Amino acid sequence: MIKSVLPWPLAGILLAVAFLAAIAFVKPIGVSTQFVIFDGIIWDLIQPDTIVIDETAKTGFASPNAYLNKSGGKYAHSIANPVNYSFIFVISMIVGAFLSVLLKGDKPHNSLEKAMPPVWSDNFGQSTKKRYIWSFIAGFIVLFGARLAGGCTSGHMMSGIMQTALSGYLFAASAFATAIPLALILYKNK
């Protein structure tokens, strides 16, 4: 029987298999770009000229938005074709976590834990509203930061460092430089 949370060497091996297999078969794992792709799909639904066909662009697609248009319309192309490797990968990742839970994986034990981890309620009380607002703000900061950095924990830290990318080391050092001191300050109780 597999444990809900594996001992660290086994967890490490399982994660290594995922990251190595991704590069061996297709390309390095990355997640945060797909937030832009999802935004772009919604944006293009509301405002259909957000993504346009452009024969002169490298990918055949362009956008009046500089970010979606960059690298020859790379993001514009993915938004116009949501059934692409990276987008399906991220959706499958959510399915994978769900399947793990079905097979007795790690999940919140009670209704309070569904809203916040115990370390949060021990330090900031049991208000779900407060936790949700701060989670929303944190999500905003994390994805703004990830897009500014050009990647997140999976793309820069894991995939980057395993390829010995300089950017991966810079990103990891920067992320922990704020995350560790802030966590030590925020969560003093228990």
Residues numbered 110 to 139 that lie near another protein (CB under 8 A) are: 114-120, 128, 131-139
- Least separation in angstroms between residue 56's CB and another protein is 19
CA distances from 102 to 3, 8, 89, 189 (A): 13, 21, 20, 33
Residue type, 105: G
Write down the least CB distance from residue 123 to another protein, Å. Answer: 9
In 3D space, the residue among 63, 61, 60 whose CA is nearest the CA of residue 49 turns out to be 63
Contact predicate 60/73, CB 8 Å: yes
- Is the Cβ of residue 55 or residue 177 nearer to another protein in the bound state? 177
Considering the complex, state which of residue 25 and residue 48 has its C-beta at the smaller distance from another protein.
25
Kindly state the helix (H) or strand (E) to which residue 52 belongs, with its residue range. Answer: strand 52-53
Q: Which of the residues 64 through 103 are near another protein (CB under 8 A)?
A: 65-68, 70, 83, 85-86, 88-101
Q: Between 153 and 182, how does the x/- string for binding to another protein read (CB under 8 A)? A: xxxxxxxxxxxxxxxx-xxxxxxxxxxx-x
